[in-house]
Structure 1
């Protein structure tokens, strides 16, 4: 009997992080709202591309115009991170997910891995759709090199927004406030903080979302992503500590 229990225990431990990833992926793909968000992101990008294109413009001009406003809809993808914890608190499945886990940190890392991968894949698909529409239907293919540079900035920005959404959902035990944060805070940065008469370096720090959007450029300024990266790291660390120390 003891031998059987030990063998079963070893079998349970063997998959480790892979089992957590498989569980989180299964949970992710069974949530209908996640697929609605992905579909909405693709549809919005398609509509932006169609309405932004002018027959007198080169594809680069249209692609730049689309990406310059696409960040407004970044919350559609960022909400995938919010859903990762938010739906579990909503439907009370968080108890099964977290309380029965041997490591709550592993749960958090698995959720981070799944939502980041999906967010990146979704954004790549969104950008590819926009590029193909311009190339195939409007015969105005944007320059590949500049499209890749600008697209990389969008992907990084969206992935960080998704991780911030996940951390906020874990900290706040819900979806409404984290989604509101993802929608409202970038606007607050642009409309209010940017108007303050502060040193440039302080403005960059106080505007993590606005600063990171400078990556969406043919000549991206990569150091400007550090404030948003730091915000994501701080929130995720806080989420990990809170998740490990309190009842769900």
Structure 2
């Protein structure tokens, strides 16, 4: 009886316990809470702005116009993911985390599950609210767009970018460097794509922002600009390399000192 009790006491925390630890840290860190709030508010503010200014092009959809600032919100989502791990490195609490949960892969999996689920919920709620608000204030002469199931895919992009930010933060470990890298990954392919000639649409089309533009059905998401993949294949591509990035981050976390 004593031996079994000792073994049970020495066993590492399970995934549920690790997830509870991560939730406590996530909600106790001001930077992640404020950035998550900013992620939620940006799309709604964008819908109000577009409706008030009447700045949409004739072929822009109500859905796309309502989510004009969703790309900015997407960058904030990536920052949330990066800060969820970099905040621990900058404060030194990562050593405590890895002592409490020695299985480092479990720590990263718990962080990824928490960040992804939180940002999926935030993305779905805020983008739905922005669309409903935009539908009420945007000129009815614009085509409506198809909000369903697109809004679920848009929320998934937010979740994936948060997980991608987490992977980048695990590699970089420094908050400023990780935030800069996240923004660069999201923006630079679109900015520098024209320098690559005919390859532009494939370089720009592989980014999370391209998947977002296709799901929001914006007039800028033409095949010659962001690739010929449809919205859902683009989302699947983003999911694929996000999983690869998290796998690499897990390997790096296991091999490096805290």
Please report the TM-score for the alignment, with normalisation by the length of structure 2: 0.80
Tell me, yes or no, if the aligned pair for 1:68 and 1:216 is still in contact at 8 Å.
Answer: no
1:99 matched residue in structure 2: 99
1:236 matched residue in structure 2: 246
Residues of 2 paired with 1:55 and 1:201: CA distance? 31
Tell me, yes or no, if the aligned pair for 2:170 and 2:253 is still in contact at 8 Å.
Answer: yes
1:20–1:62 Cα change, 3 Å: same
1:5–1:133 Cα change, 3 Å: farther
Tell me, yes or no, if the aligned pair for 1:81 and 1:164 is still in contact at 8 Å.
Answer: yes
Tell me, yes or no, if the aligned pair for 2:39 and 2:73 is still in contact at 8 Å.
Answer: yes
Equivalent positions of 1:168-207 (< 5 A) are 168-199=168-199, 202-203=202-203, 207=206
Counterpart among 43, 46, 57 of residue 41 in structure 2:
43
Residues of 2 paired with 1:213 and 1:33: CA distance? 25
Residues of 2 paired with 1:82 and 1:18: CA distance? 22
Residues of 2 paired with 1:21 and 1:8: CA distance? 24
1:224–1:117 Cα change, 3 Å: same
Q: Deviations over 1:152-208 (max 9, x none)?
A: 232122112111110111111121122112223332211212442235885367x43
Q: Deviations over 1:23-50 (max 9, x none)?
A: 1111111111222112212322222111
* CA shift for structure 1 position 90: 1.0
Tell me, yes or no, if structure 1 residue 155 matches structure 2 residue 165.
Answer: no
Residues of 2 paired with 1:221 and 1:32: CA distance? 34
**Which secondary structure does the structure 2 equivalent of 1:148 belong to?**
coil
Question: Which ranges in structure 1 are unaligned for 5 or more consecutive residues?
Answer: none
1:32 matched residue in structure 2: 30
2:17 matched residue in structure 1: 19
1:208 matched residue in structure 2: 207
Tell me, yes or no, if the aligned pair for 1:78 and 1:163 is still in contact at 8 Å.
Answer: yes
Residues of 1 paired with 2:10 and 2:168: CA distance? 31
1:164 matched residue in structure 2: 164
**Which secondary structure does the structure 1 equivalent of 2:149 belong to?**
helix
2:226 matched residue in structure 1: none
1:185–1:14 Cα change, 3 Å: closer
Residues of 1 paired with 2:99 and 2:198: CA distance? 46
* CA shift for structure 1 position 239: 0.9
Please report the TM-score for the alignment, with normalisation by the length of structure 1: 0.83
- How large is the Cα RMSD of the aligned pairs? 3.2
